[in-house]
Amino acid sequence: MSKPSSHRKRRAATEAGIDGNDEDVVQASNSSSPRKRRARVAAQDRGNHYQEDDEDMDAEEENEKNRGSTTKHRRSDQGVSADNSLILSERATNPVGKPPEAGVIKKIYVENFMCHRKLTVELCQNVNFINGANGSGKSAILAAVQICLGAGAKRTHRARNLKELVRKEAGSNCAGAKVRVTLLNRGDDGFQRDVYGDTITVERSISLRGGYNGYKLLDDQLKEKSRSKRDLDAMLDQLNIQVENPVAVLDQEEAKKFLMGKEEDKYAFFIKATELERLDQTYASAVDNIQDLEETKNRVSSSMVESKANVKKLYKEWQEFQELEKLEDKILDDRVLFAWSAYNVLNGKVHEQEKVWL
């Protein structure tokens, strides 16, 4: 074997508890007797044993710390899980005995609409799934909801105008289509509950022969209460129903645009979903109204110049008439005084004549 290098000697001496920097001590340890070497080896073994015991104690303490940390993390995870369970229990929707929120769709009825001759769909108050084969009319139900709640025919991506949504198989005798959507109207958020009650039914008629083509708002007894589009818009605004929002009503075409459309299509989807488009239209409408009011104000202001001159002229004439009235009152007073003066004069002459006669 080759002779150990000084670096190895120094490391061995350090592990044995000897100062590795003292070269003489290392040489002495190599040249000592076998008995002394055995004693040193035994001491080294004891030192190594003590070192191993210290390492075992350190490892045990580290394990204790890890176990404590694991227990702490487990308790923390249990606390987070309990908090999440509490949050989920507090967020439970439609608990027993509590009425659902207003605006939930309860029933959909269509007649001669797209592929359906007559169809009634009863919905629950939470999540509903409608499945069926291609061409069975699933999208027609969604289109009926859109049309009935104020959307145009183009928004459904199924027709260019309302008349194209009337069932073709109905024949020439068909007068048109009818769509009804019944909404819950309970709770504090209900729309004019004193008028409509617990439900509001919106009816949309599509006439082919000059009949009524518009909206009707029916109460919970299906009695007509309004035909005004303004009332429908007010109801939709109160119940926060947005049929033009692609996030609220996501049909196949809008989903394709979102997944595979161009950047322009996704941006258009974004501004509709975030209502930025509606806000921009509202802002533009407000700006137009302000401009109209400014023009009206300028027009009225220009016409007021002549009106103010007329007012000043009339006011001056009124003041002159007031002076005339004062003069007329003074003339009346003077006439009364003149009459009394004439009476006194005549009365004096009568007394003088009586004295002469006597």
Q: Which residue has the higher pLDDT, 91 or 177?
A: 177
- The whole-number pLDDT of residue 183 equals 94
Per-residue pLDDT band for 293 (boundaries 50, 70, 90) equals: very high
Q: How many residues does the chain have?
A: 358
Q: Which residue has the higher pLDDT, 351 or 293?
A: 293
At 214-269, the pLDDT tens digits run 899 999 999 999 999 999 999 998 888 888 888 888 888 888 888 888 888 888 88
Query: How many Å from the N-terminal Cα to the C-terminal Cα in the chain?
Result: 193
pLDDT at 161 over 60: yes
Take residue 202 and report the two structure tokens written for it. Answer: 């919106």
Give the helix ranges, DSSP H, for 91-102: none
Q: Which residue has the higher pLDDT, 27 or 93?
A: 93
Integer CA distances (angstroms), 307 to 80, 299, 311, 316, in order:
76, 13, 6, 14
pLDDT at 109 over 90: yes
Q: What percent of the chain has pLDDT over 90?
A: 24
Take residue 36 and report the two structure tokens written for it. Answer: 């002394």
Please state which of the ranges 21-25, 161-165, 201-205, 227-231 shows the lowest mean pLDDT: 21-25
Rounded-to-integer distance, Cα 166 and Cα 112, Å: 6
Take residue 46 and report the two structure tokens written for it. Answer: 């004891």
- The whole-number pLDDT of residue 16 equals 39
At 204-224, the pLDDT tens digits run 999 887 778 889 999 999 999
Q: Which residue has the higher pLDDT, 173 or 147?
A: 147
Q: Are 174 and 182 in contact (CB under 8 A)?
A: no
Per-residue pLDDT band for 15 (boundaries 50, 70, 90) equals: very low
Rounded-to-integer distance, Cα 269 and Cα 245, Å: 9
Q: What residues form DSSP beta bridges with 218?
A: 201, 224
pLDDT at 75 over 80: no
Mean pLDDT of the chain: 76
Per-residue pLDDT band for 36 (boundaries 50, 70, 90) equals: very low
Q: Are 140 and 179 in contact (CB under 8 A)?
A: no
Single-letter amino acid code for the residue at 168: K
At 265-288, the pLDDT tens digits run 888 888 888 888 888 888 999 999
pLDDT at 14 over 60: no
Please state which of the ranges 40-49, 276-285, 299-308 shows the lowest mean pLDDT: 40-49
Long-range contacts of the stretch 348-354 (C-beta < 8 A, 24+): none
Q: Are 170 and 112 in contact (CB under 8 A)?
A: yes
| Mean pLDDT across 102-115 | 92
